[in-house]
Amino acid sequence: MGYEEAVSAHYGHGGIEEKLLGMITADGGNPGHFAPADLHGADQLHVGGALATTRIAGRAGINGGSHVLDLGSGMGGVSRHLAHDFGATVHGVDLTPAFVDLARSLTERTGLSGQVTFSQGSILALPFGDNSFDTALMVHVGMNIRDKDKVFAETARVLRPGSVFAVYEVMLLGGDLEQFPLPWAASEETSFVQPPLAYSDALAQAGFDVDYEAKPLAEGIEFLEHAIAGEGPAGVDKDAIVNLLAAFKAGILAPVEIYARLA
């Protein structure tokens, strides 16, 4: 099994849709038609959830005229958020077939299928022509990507000149990463965390100029503490969240935002 197949298998477990729709029903909502916010961010598999998505979208300049590429779109939570809250048109690409099916189902139930679409495939070889998008996001995906330079080169190819690429990842700050599982990997075989400088250098090689970088570590710690209390993303193992929180507090890992513009 190649590493992409192993990554897909890590995320491909079932039962998530039933859990999410159960949340809607428990809140007195209609599981056949609801707003993205009714899921309380449980469909967004990244540190900070929906609040972080709002912050990133604002810093990336996303608005009603934006045509956004969501790299590694998962359950589609980020894509739906950008469409519903910012009016953007979004296309998500994800490696895991079960996530793509789930993303399409949830998007139909939120009435956003006209604004948000999804493809199954590898972001190492995007199924789009040159200059197809004006914004791209990669949110908690790079930790599973060994060949980040290929992803950034492909992203540069499909973006128009002057476009913004927002990258929000868990990155390595120092020390050795020894405690697994983590939310993105059961073992080190599918974990490819790197320091911010490695991202910035790879972005520069792909033709991007880095505009801004932020490390919302305190917010990340607070989010993970709430997640351990039962308020976290759907389908994420609690032991993995505990290990990630420990790595944050030890200064080994941190959530990092990088905003780059294509020259």
Burial bucket for residue 16 (CB in 10 Å: 0-12, 13-18, 19+): buried
* 3-class secondary-structure state, position 207: coil
Residue 193: what residue type? Answer: V
Please state, in angstroms and as integers, the Cα–Cα distance from residue 88 to each residue in 71, 101, 104, 110, 183, following that order. 15, 21, 17, 15, 28
Per-residue pLDDT of the chain (263 residues; tens, 9 = 90+): 455 555 555 555 568 999 999 999 999 999 999 999 999 889 998 999 999 999 999 999 999 999 999 999 999 999 999 999 999 999 999 999 999 999 999 999 999 999 999 999 999 999 999 999 999 999 999 999 999 999 999 999 999 999 999 999 999 999 888 899 999 999 999 999 999 999 999 999 999 999 999 999 999 999 999 999 876 676 788 999 999 999 999 999 999 999 999 99
What's the pLDDT at 230? 79
How is residue 134 written in tokens? 């004006």
What's the pLDDT at 74? 96
- Tens of pLDDT along 196-235? 999 999 999 999 999 999 999 999 999 999 999 876 676 7
Number of H helices, E strands in the chain: 9, 7
pTM equals 0.93
Residue in 125, 109, 110 with CA at minimum distance from that of residue 158? 125
CB-CB contact of 182 with 242 (8 Å): no
CB-CB contact of 154 with 123 (8 Å): yes
What's the pLDDT at 232? 63
Return d(Cα 115, Cα 38) in angstroms, integer: 18
Looking at the DSSP assignment, which residues form a beta bridge with residue 117? Answer: 91
Displacement of CA 247 from its chain's centroid (Å): 20
Place of tokens 């950008």: 82
Residues of the chain with pLDDT > 70, as a percent, come to 93
Residue 243: what residue type? Answer: N
Return d(Cα 107, Cα 94) in angstroms, integer: 15
Other CB atoms within a 10 A radius of the CB of residue 210 amount to 17
How is residue 181 written in tokens? 């599982």
Q: What values do phi and psi take at 224, rounded to 5?
A: -65, -35
What are the domain boundaries of the chain? 3-262
Q: Is the dihedral of CA 33, 35, 37, 42 positive or negative?
A: positive
CATH annotation of 3-262: 3.40.50.150
Place of tokens 């969240």: 241
What's the pLDDT at 15? 87
Could you tell me which residues come within 8 angstroms of residue 107 by beta carbon, excluding any fewer than 6 positions away?
76, 79, 80, 113, 116, 118
